[in-house]
Amino acid sequence: MKKLLSIALVAVMATGSVITANAATIKENKSVQVLDSRVDLANDTLNVFTYNLSKNSLSGVCFYGKNTEKQYTVQYKDCIGKNIVISMPSSERYTRFVLSNGCSSGNSYAGYSFANTGGEYVKLRVKLGEVSNYFNSDGSYTDTYGNGVTYTLRENESNLTFFSGGVANGVAPDENGCVEIYIKAGLDAETAFSTYFPNNNGIISLYVPMLTFGNIDLEGSINVNDVTLLQRYLAGNTEFDSLQLFYADINRDGKTDIKDVTDLQQAIAK
């Protein structure tokens, strides 16, 4: 892998004088819109945001400390119109849960740490049915493997949560099947969602490649394919949409150039 990355880097440096000048036109990504809202968050904190939930919501999120056995719980009804920040000691490892009807439901993720989750976060507007085949076009879910029921994630019933770094986004799809979430603008955080349905297979937790910063090809994981695609874009041999351009600014300096290629290669090679 490192050898391939080294070869790719040499190739880009050789054409560096013409890359940016030949970059192609930017298209709009109709599935994911990058909004102007940006926040800088600190390490060792859990930051909870909500979208389209009501004060009657009984959903939330809980982290359970493996060493101290302390629970850190936030109910989304307390976050309406504001975000909540909780101190999460980096000396601790956590198990992540979603809450349904005020109770924790299922082991979603173990071994979580907040030591390096600080940094820039950016808000995205997401059409659920177009970023994951788990969702229908209206943002609902049909249990095709169990009882065949379609679950409509309404504002007072939804326990759908998107996780990225130090952020938990409690959301319900709006009338267009869309949600708004914050994701970390860094290569060290995947974006995943969890939800819980008591009448089928319980908790469901899935990684969403299209919502993970640095995943320029919008598929699979961040790898050498993303480097190759970025090189092709800079050489003017392919087009990027608005989401890909956002992901391609690896060092977040407001432009896409050879430095982003180098930073991406180095991150993958680690």
- Residues 67-97: tens digit of each pLDDT: 889 999 999 999 999 999 999 999 999 998 8
124 and 51 in a common domain: yes
Domain boundary among 163, 194, 211: 211
User: Domain holding 231: CATH number?
Assistant: 1.10.1330
Number of domains making up the chain: 2
Phi, psi of 250 (to 5 degrees): -60, -45
**Which residues lie across from 63 on neighbouring strands?**
72, 96
**Which residues lie across from 41 on neighbouring strands?**
119
Instruction: Determine which helix (DSSP H) or strand (DSSP E) holds 35, and give its type and residue range.
Output: strand 32-41
* Structure confidence by residue, pLDDT tens digits, 98-122: 887 655 555 556 688 999 999 999 9
180 and 66 in a common domain: yes
The token pair that represents 42 in the structure block: 């600190």
Three-state secondary structure call for residue 262: helix
225 and 203 in a common domain: no
The type of residue at 247 is Y
DSSP codes joined into one string, 146-203: TT-PEEP--TTT--EEEEETTEEEEE---TTSEEEEEEESSTT--EEEEEEETTTTEE
**Residue 8, pLDDT score:** 41
Domain boundary among 184, 211, 238: 211
* Structure confidence by residue, pLDDT tens digits, 160-199: 999 999 999 999 999 999 999 999 999 999 999 998 876 6
Are 139 and 129 in contact by the 8 Å Cβ rule? The answer is: yes
Q: What DSSP designation does 32 have?
A: E
Domain enclosing residue 114, as ranges:
32-211
CA dist., res. 141 & res. 148, Å (int): 10
224 and 136 in a common domain: no
Provide the whole-model pTM: 0.88
Domain boundary among 163, 181, 211: 211
Three-state secondary structure call for residue 241: strand
205 and 105 in a common domain: yes
